[in-house]
């Protein structure tokens, strides 16, 4: 039986996971999303067209790969239908290339409203969520009051929804007393009609994806899993509470798909040759100076989902070593080597200095992270134009030295190197 390859983010998201999945999908039958929802934004450039994928696995862009939205995903049907229509408008046959887990939890407008209300109530300690209703939907899942895709087709749907809407209205009035339009925004009959229509539109896609995936494996089909978010945004292993509400690390891939630990083969960790983060929370190597601005402009670091400018800084290998430990990485993908290569000198964080205590071990304790200062090692930059390089050997010596150091420090081989945003701009080793 063939093994499943997994692609995961190692930092705070937006490492370029979509681009790596797009490459792997060329040889894959299925591409699976396991966690998160439309808080994710995966950008792929194909023949000059830019696709921003939020829910449908990027692998579908190969044209032959079937995208599977696993049980661990929280799903906004409106966003999904928009994404389907957009792909169809670009000539993709989505109907025969998409499956949705009957167990995926549905995001409703009250989840988004609660997300926004909670952020408002947090005032100065806000998380900086995407406002897509992700946290409140996972809350309902674990409280056991959520609606799963399969619930939309049951006779009990109308009464369940009515009950939930009443409960949520009361809660929202408590959390956001300034919002005087809650009753209007959550008109039950309107919501019921809207979600019944979504359910009909999605009916051809909803199925038991656990059985579907295992049957595919038994038929020796090739499966890749497209991680969303990243290790440091993990609800357990990230910089809590400045995290998302799921487990985007390796454990979440298993619980979010129904695949087993022994089904997994390669685990590719994706990083950029520098660091970025959107939203609030610690970021030890963040650059609040002209270098940070330069990375943002050169790397076009603006959010795919919210358009927010991303916070930028030097590569932090202390965190990547942690990501390797937590996820059991077997290979790395380093994107944006072209971007960092435009600097004369490049800094890489190799340890944290916390009030004189120097360590290479990352921990998510916020007091520790607040005090930690990066210890840098300097590398020579000026890589020149590397966008045409297709083998490691073609790269200039400075670029090779930078990559070799990462491999040595993390103890994992670099399998993929991104040399530009286009699909072809990648070195595979
Ligand atoms: P994801 O969420 O991990 O899939 O990453 P995003 O799509 O949110 O952000 C990555 C951004 O970097 C996108 O705009 C990609 O087009 C771009 N990108 C990915 N790899 C490279 C690379 O090697 N070089 C350059 N210049 N851009 C890249
Ligand atoms: P991809 O898959 C970057 C961040 C948000 C916020 C925190 C919580 O594109 O890498 P949420 O809406 O999930 O409750 O927000 O998590 N966040 C991401 N940052 N890339 C993502 O996904 C993200 N998904 C969530 O910015 O800080
Ligand atoms: Mg992204």
* Contact yes or no for 33/44 (Cβ under 8 A): no
* Contact yes or no for 342/291 (Cβ under 8 A): no
- 334 vs 185: CA distance, rounded Å: 44
Cα 258 to middle of ligand 1, angstroms: 29
Q: How far is CA 116 from CA 29, 35, 131, 214, 384, in A?
A: 38, 21, 6, 38, 44
Of 8, 421, 426, 428, the one to substitute when testing ligand 1's pocket (max ligand atoms within 8 A of C-beta) is 421
Task: Please tell me which residue in 5, 14, 140, 234 is annotated as part of the active site.
Answer: 14
Q: Residue 110: helix, strand or coil by DSSP?
A: helix
What is the H or E stretch that residue 313 is in? strand 311-316
* Contact yes or no for 297/323 (Cβ under 8 A): no
- 194 vs 279: CA distance, rounded Å: 31
Ligand 2 environment, Cβ below 6 A? 9, 12-14, 39-42, 127-130, 132, 134-135, 228-230, 233, 244-245, 278-279
**Which pair of tokens denotes residue 42?**
């995966």
Q: Which residues pair with 352 in a beta bridge?
A: 359, 374
Q: Which residues pair with 309 in a beta bridge?
A: 302
**Residue 306 confidence (pLDDT):** 84
Atom 25 of ligand 2: nearest residue by CA position:
39
Q: Residue 300 catalytic?
A: no
- 242 vs 127: CA distance, rounded Å: 5
Output phi, psi for 262, to 5 deg: -75, -10
Q: Residue 15: helix, strand or coil by DSSP?
A: coil
**Which pair of tokens denotes residue 45?**
């450039």
**Residue 1 confidence (pLDDT):** 80
Cα 146 to middle of ligand 2, angstroms: 21
Q: Which atom of ligand 1 is nearest to the CA of 40?
A: 2
Atom 20 of ligand 2: nearest residue by CA position:
13
**Which pair of tokens denotes residue 261?**
């630990």
pTM of the model: 0.97
**Which pair of tokens denotes residue 406?**
């990462």
Task: Please tell me which residue in 5, 29, 42, 97 is annotated as part of the active site.
Answer: 42
Of 11, 20, 35, 39, the one to substitute when testing ligand 2's pocket (max ligand atoms within 8 A of C-beta) is 39
Q: Residue 413: helix, strand or coil by DSSP?
A: coil
Give the chain's largest Cα–Cα span: 66
Sequence-ordered list of residues with C-beta below 8 angstroms from that of 9, at least 6 positions apart, any chain = 15, 17, 227, 228, 229, 230, 231, 233, 248, 269, 270
Atom 2 of ligand 1: nearest residue by CA position:
14
Nearest to 216 by CA among 259, 255, 177: 259
- 298 vs 306: CA distance, rounded Å: 19
Long-range contacts of 288-292 (CB under 8 A, 24+ apart): 291/343
Angle between helices 77-89 and 188-202 (to 10 degrees): 40
Cα 250 to middle of ligand 3, angstroms: 18
Q: Which atom of ligand 2 is nearest to the CA of 134?
A: 14
Q: Which atom of ligand 1 is nearest to the CA of 304?
A: 8
Cα 304 to middle of ligand 1, angstroms: 10
**Residue 350 confidence (pLDDT):** 98
Gyration radius of the chain over CA positions: 22
Q: Which atom of ligand 2 is nearest to the CA of 15?
A: 10
Instruction: Look at the alpha carbons of 143, 147, 150, 156 in this order and tell me if their dihedral is positive or negative.
Output: positive
Q: Residue 14 catalytic?
A: yes
Cα 422 to middle of ligand 3, angstroms: 16
Place of tokens 């295992």: 214
Place of tokens 């491999």: 407
Place of tokens 């030890």: 284
Nearest to 106 by CA among 144, 149, 138, 157: 149
Q: pLDDT truncated to tens, each residue of the chain (429 aa)? A: 889 999 999 999 999 999 999 999 999 999 999 999 999 999 999 888 999 999 999 999 999 999 999 999 999 999 999 999 999 999 999 999 999 999 999 999 999 999 999 999 999 999 999 999 999 999 999 999 999 999 999 999 999 999 999 999 999 999 999 999 999 999 999 999 999 999 999 999 999 999 999 999 999 999 999 999 999 999 999 999 999 999 999 999 999 999 999 999 999 999 999 999 999 999 999 999 999 999 999 999 998 888 899 999 999 999 999 999 999 999 999 999 999 999 999 999 999 999 999 999 999 999 999 999 999 999 999 999 999 999 999 999 999 999 999 999 999 999 999 999 998 999 999
Atom 8 of ligand 1: nearest residue by CA position:
14
**Residue 128 confidence (pLDDT):** 96
Cα 421 to middle of ligand 1, angstroms: 6
* Contact yes or no for 34/252 (Cβ under 8 A): yes
**Residue 304 confidence (pLDDT):** 82
- 186 vs 165: CA distance, rounded Å: 7
């Amino acid at each position: 039986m063939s093994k499943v390859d997994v692609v995961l983010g190692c930092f705070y998201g937006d490492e370029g996971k979509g681009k790596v999945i797009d490459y792997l999908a060329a040889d894959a039958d299925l591409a699976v999303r396991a966690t998160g929802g439309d808080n994710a934004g995966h950008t792929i450039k194909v023949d000059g067209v830019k696709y921003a994928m939020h829910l449908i696995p990027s692998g579908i862009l190969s044209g032959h790969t079937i995208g599977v939205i696993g049980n661990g995903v929280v799903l906004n049907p409106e966003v999904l239908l928009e994404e389907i229509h957009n792909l169809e408008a670009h000539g993709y046959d989505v109907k025969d290339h998409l499956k949705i887990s009957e167990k995926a939890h549905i995001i409703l407008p009250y989840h988004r409203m609660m997300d926004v209300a909670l952020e408002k109530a947090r005032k100065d300690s806000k998380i900086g969520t995407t406002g897509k209703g992700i946290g409140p939907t996972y809350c309902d899942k674990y409280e056991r009051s959520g609606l799963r895709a399969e619930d939309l087709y049951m006779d009990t749907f109308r009464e369940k929804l009515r009950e939930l809407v009443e409960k949520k209205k009361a809660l929202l009035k408590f959390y956001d007393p300034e919002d005087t339009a809650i009753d209007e925004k959550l008109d039950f009959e309107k919501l019921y009609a809207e979600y019944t229509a979504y359910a009909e539109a999605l009916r051809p896609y909803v199925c038991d994806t656990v059985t579907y995936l295992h049957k595919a494996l038994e038929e020796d089909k090739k499966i890749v899993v497209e991680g969303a978010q990243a290790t440091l945004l993990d609800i357990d292993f990230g910089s809590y509470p400045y995290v998302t509400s799921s487990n985007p690390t390796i454990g979440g891939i298993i619980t979010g798909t129904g695949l087993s630990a022994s089904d997994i083969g390669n685990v590719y960790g994706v990083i950029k040759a520098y660091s970025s983060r959107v939203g609030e929370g610690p970021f030890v190597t963040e650059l609040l100076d002209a270098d940070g601005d330069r990375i943002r402009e050169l790397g076009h670091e603006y959010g795919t989902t919210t358009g927010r400018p991303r916070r930028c800084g030097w590569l932090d290998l202390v965190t990547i070593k942690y990501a390797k430990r937590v996820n059991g990485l077997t290979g790395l993908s380093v994107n944006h080597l072209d971007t960092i290569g435009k600097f004369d000198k490049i800094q890489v964080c190799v340890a944290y200095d916390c009030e004189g205590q120097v360590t290479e071990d990352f921990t998510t304790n916020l007091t520790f992270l607040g005090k930690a200062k990066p210890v840098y090692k300097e590398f020579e930059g000026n890589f020149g134009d590397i966008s045409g390089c297709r083998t490691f050997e073609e790269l200039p010596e400075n670029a090779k030295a930078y990559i070799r150091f990462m491999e040595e420090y993390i103890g994992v081989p670099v399998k993929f190197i991104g040399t530009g945003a286009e699909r072809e701009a990648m070195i595979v080793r």
